[in-house]
Structure 1
Amino acid sequence: MTTLLALLPLLIVIGLLASGRASALVAGLAGLSATLAASVTLLTDAGRGGEIGVLFVRETSAGLWLSWHVIAIIASGMFFHRCLQARGAAANGAALPANPRRLWSVCFLLAPFAEAVTGFGIGYILALVALRRLGLGGLPALVLGLYSQSLVPWGALAIGTTVGAALAGLTPNQLGLGSAVLQVPIHVFYLVLYWRFARDAGVAVPLFQKVDDALWTALLLALVWLFNFYSDVEIAGAAATAVLLALRFWRDERPDGARLAATLRAQAPYVALTLALCATRLVPPLRDVLKPLWAIRPFDNQPAFAPLYAPSFWLVSIGLVVVVLARAPLGRVLGETARAAWRSCFVTLLFVVMAEFYVGTGMAQAIAEALRATAGRDAVAAVPLFAGVGGFLTGGAAAANAMLMPMVTALARAVAVDPAWIAAVQNSVCANLTMLSPIRVSMGAALLALATSDAELYRRAWPLALPALSTGVGAILILLA
């Protein structure tokens, strides 16, 4: 009975999302309500009814604080994006002929960079715009655009990884490093699929270019790992892609002074943001001053919030400069931001608070113990499936980690399997599977004005689920060996 009650909120959420008739907001409200009811019932049955009030205040406060870190990124990222739209700096520019070098840069660098900086599918929008500039459209463009989500563990300045680490009892860098290792086999499979999708789009990739693609992909993954190791997880995706974007632009386009200046002017907000984030994390004097300055940390097991060090501060600050220079109405930008961001913010809050109650009431541990009793150590083999379903249904790593990370790490501890690697599998698989979520696919279809059915879209795109799922299963088999 205890296990069934503990599972019920998760089953309700998964059932509602899988039905296609309920939004993530409705599912989150239903899941949190069911979690609160299950918590009260379990505590009362255990003779701990007197703890309900204290537990409610403690777990709600902890959930609100942890969700604030996500909400700050969502809101400031949306604000930054709307500021760029108001400036008109993201103009499409002149069309360019499609070639394998440009296509790889769009799929593996440009779009993942935009996703790493702002998140929430904005990289996908930029990818589709860039692909149309290359003369690509229809289903091939939709599928290739999904590569914008290939580095989602570091999307939205790695906020999903930060939340997952807090719920797993790890530092963000620990989870980032584990996820970076898993990205190696994932990207090997991504690259093989990319060459096939490029050919289907009419862009043949010769053998020499495949070798070039492989070398640059290896360099990208090495830089992601190095930034996770030597700096903060927040900038690992953005900094690695930004560095390689600059190098590729110089190598492939050979710009003269005028074109280089024009490109820098057009991309000035992104350049400024990248430089600010890298400086505050890689320059010791600046980092050592800003990181503890006015830092707030009400919970020992959760990250601190330092206002002048937080990525949201730089997103908002640079966005404000953009609005002022563009002489755009700030009120309109703020209104557009609120309308675009409120739903994601509220959904995140619901799932994170739900996760805190799962940990605080022992429900995650109860599920883990039941799985251990049923399947022993082999129970962890289900983690990639849980993670994939979570990422696919929620469309966001933060929400999926909030929903599942407490359960899978509790299971890992119950069966004596390294919880850090289980957390990395959960984080990587759920994050990478967000690319196939109905939210992303329907967004792409709408932007490209495709009349194709969802079934046809998924028939073309479904192989993109294999890299993350097969890597997750392989990692679990190694852990169980």
Structure 2
Amino acid sequence: MLLALLPLISIMFMIFVLKKSSIFTGIVACMLTAAIALSPIFNSNIMNLTEPIIKSFLTTSIIAYILFFGIFLFHLMDKAGAIKGIASSITKATNDKIYQILILALGLSPLIESVSGFGLAVIVIAPLLIALGFSPIQSSLIALVSLCIIPWGTLAMGTIIGATLGNVELEKMGMGSALMCIPIYIYYALVVVYIGVGLSALKKRLFTILFVGFLLGASVWLCNRFVSVELAGLFGSLAVISVLFLMIKQQNKKTSSTSKLEKESNSIKNIMPYLLLIVLLFISRIVIPLKEYLSNTWTLTIEKYNFELSILYSPGFFLFIVCIFTIFFYRLQAFEIRESSISTFKKCYPVILTTFLYVVVSEIMSEAKMIQLLSLLAAQSFGQFYVFISPLVGAIGGFLTGSNTASNTMFIRLQTETALHIGMSPILVACAQNVSSSLMTMVNPSRVALSCSVCKIRSHENEIQKKMLFVGLGTLAIILIELLLLFIFQ
């Protein structure tokens, strides 16, 4: 049993204690896992290990397809000034500090993360908060908490991979994760406002703050339920931005109609690529004949490895179309496209390589029956109470790797197989894994370091880390309460 657990222990030890990079950790973990699998205890054949590596490569190719064009779109829009334009229109819309915080933290940040992922929203949000008069420490904390849409980040890539590896239905996992997130988003709305303006100001606008948090969660759930999992983050963030702008307009009616028209025209121009992406994904998921055509045309299938990629139906294809549209719409120059490509590659390859290495570890553990052994042991040790352990496992994965995709890759198969052993719903455990893993990535040391670097407060990194740890513990407490209620009333 200890040998089966050793790959996971080694990953935690190298990241948390030795503070090694994710890539170095992944390489060592792969070699260690392979050595354990080939040992007399598990007695795997060396030829059998080629299959997990090929499976891992194929799984990672799905991730790379979406991730590359998602980050490329962000850099293209950044070169065109669209990202700054969106931010400027939001920050100039009101002088109300609470509205500014809510729009940036629960609107703009989720909008950017939904398409790009990788914590890029911090780079945009934190400087804006500082420019609006918030202290660097406040800005750093709010920017980190604003990474709340990660279950649906990069068009729900981590959730999609989790559902695939955990052998659960994507739609049910998306809806369950969204339902679990509703009270958490209310909690985050309270947290970011408290950080920004304090308790007394929060109390005066309590209903508005609670409503905005609920709106984000409810919008995400509605999109998961009736449209698609991939679009949920985009839909939720745009719903929050739209509603908050309507509330601001009710509060401020001094702007002339001409000025309003100019602002609205510029705002629409800046978000046009996102709007096109929403329309394309929406039509492809709702119009059944088109959905069937795209799903069955240019489909790469390898039955031996249970692999299928619908090239035209994948979100990566629609991101590619929107990238082409963005280049022509904003009339980007060749050097701007080249610089965007280089920046995208630099951000992509470490994520893709790290994910591949963690998938290899997971696949080798599964091939050598290590995961089955660990899940059986967990079922025997905790029984029905394992449901309360599952979010802790997910939280550890998210905290250590800083990636929901990597965490789900490492742990979700263990989680769902344990659930089957104890007669529980794999969907419930998968959702607990997905949500806790996603939301604890904001506490990851590398994310904290990024935020402190952007805000130029590296000397306060430990302070920010401790405060974010409290935010993470609050998140876990909410998830555990939700699971307790389900456990009591099931």
> What is the TM-score normalised by the length of structure 1?
0.91
Corresponding residue pairs, total: 472
Tell me by how many angstroms 1:11 deviates: 0.5
Determine which of 271, 279, 301 is the counterpart of 1:267.
271
Compute the displacement of 1:303 (Å). Answer: 6.8
Task: Confirm or deny that 1:327 pairs with 2:321.
Answer: no
Distance 1:480 1:141 in 2: 38
- Of residues 467, 482, 487, the one that matches 1:460 is 467
C-alpha distance 130-266 of structure 1, shift in aligned 2 (>3 A): same
Aligned: 1:382 with 2:389? yes
Pick aligned residue for 1:212 from 208, 229, 241? 208
CA–CA distance in structure 1, aligned partners of residues 167 and 472 of structure 2: 28
Matched, 1:291 2:298: no
- Listed one character per residue, the Cα deviations across residues 16-44 of structure 1 (whole Å, up to 9, x for unaligned) are 11025201111111111111112222xx4
Q: Is the CA contact (8 Å cut-off) linking 1:348 and 1:398 kept in structure 2?
A: yes
Q: Is the 8 A contact 1:100 1:203 kept in 2?
A: no
Q: 1:232 to 1:302 in 2, by over 3 A?
A: farther
Query: Which residues of 2 match residues 307-346 of structure 1 at below 5 A?
Result: 307-324=311-328, 325-329=331-335, 330-346=337-353
Alignment of 1:253-264 (within 5 A): 253=249, 256-264=260-268
Q: 5+ residue gaps in structure 2?
A: 254-258
Give, as a single letter, the amino acid of the residue that structure 2 aligns with 1:80.
Answer: L
Of 416, 420, 425, 1:418 maps to 425
Aligned to 1:162: 160
Q: Which residue of 2 aligns with 1:118?
A: 116
1:248 lines up with 2:244 in the alignment: yes
1:90 correspondence with 2:74: no
Secondary structure in 2 matching 1:256 = helix
Instruction: State the secondary structure of the residue aligned to 1:305.
Output: strand
Tell me which residue corresponds to 1:227.
223
2:201 partner amino acid: A
Q: Distance in 2 between matches of 1:36 and 1:143?
A: 40
After superposition, where does 1:331-480 map in structure 2 within 5 Å? 331-478=338-485, 480=487
Aligned-residue offset at 1:302: 5.9
- The offset of 1:12, in angstroms, is 0.5
1:56 aligns with 2:63: no
Q: Secondary structure at the match of 1:156?
A: helix
Instruction: Tell me how far 1:176 sits from its aligned partner.
Output: 0.8
| Aligned partner of residue 384 in structure 1, secondary structure | helix
Residue 296 of structure 2 aligns to a residue in which SS? coil
Deviations 1:215-252 (A, max 9, x none): 23323222211211122211111122223323433442
Superposed, which structure 2 residues align to 1:134-153 within 5 Å? 134-153=132-151
- Cα deviations across residues 309-338 of structure 1 (Å, max 9, x unaligned)? 222222223223333411242333322221
- Say whether the 8 Å CA contact 2:186–2:212 is kept in structure 1: no
Percent identity at matched positions? 24
Q: Distance in 1 between matches of 2:291 and 2:242?
A: 24
1:304 aligns with 2:308: yes
Deviation at 1:393, TM superposition (A): 1.0
The structure-2 alpha-carbon separation of the partners of 1:379 and 1:206, relative to structure 1 and needing over 3 Å to count, comes to: closer
Matches within 5 A, 1:33-72: 33-41=31-39, 44-45=40-41, 49=44, 51-53=45-47, 55-72=48-65
Instruction: Output the amino acid matched with 2:395.
Output: G
* 8 A contact 1:60–1:353 mirrored in 2: yes
2:281 pairs, out of 246, 256, 277, with 277
**TM-score w.r.t. length of structure 2:** 0.89
Native 8 Å contact 1:98 1:203 kept in 2? no
- Aligned equivalents of 1:203, 1:127: Cα separation in 2: 24
The 3 A distance-change label for structure 1 pair 444 and 19 is: same
What is the distance in 2 between the residues matched to 1:188 and 1:90? 26
Between 1:137-146 and 1:98-107, the stretch displaced more is 98-107
CA deviations on 1:151-206 (whole Å, 9 max, x unpaired) are 21111111111111111111211111111111122223223323321324x99335
Correspondence for 1:31 among 29, 32, 40? 29
Contact 2:219/2:239, CA 8 A, preserved across alignment? no
Q: How far apart are the structure 1 equivalents of 2:232 and 2:281?
A: 10
How far apart are 1:434 and its partner, in Å? Answer: 0.5
Find the aligned partners of 2:49 and 2:128 in 1 and give their Cα distance: 48
Task: State whether residues 452 and 460 of structure 2, in contact with CA within 8 Å, keep that contact through their aligned partners in structure 1.
Answer: no
How far did residue 442 of structure 1 move?
0.7
**Aligned Cα RMSD in Å?**
2.4
Query: Unaligned 5+ residue runs, structure 1?
Result: none
CA contact (8 A) 1:163 1:398 kept: yes
Letter in 2 for 1:65: L
Offset at 1:390? 0.9
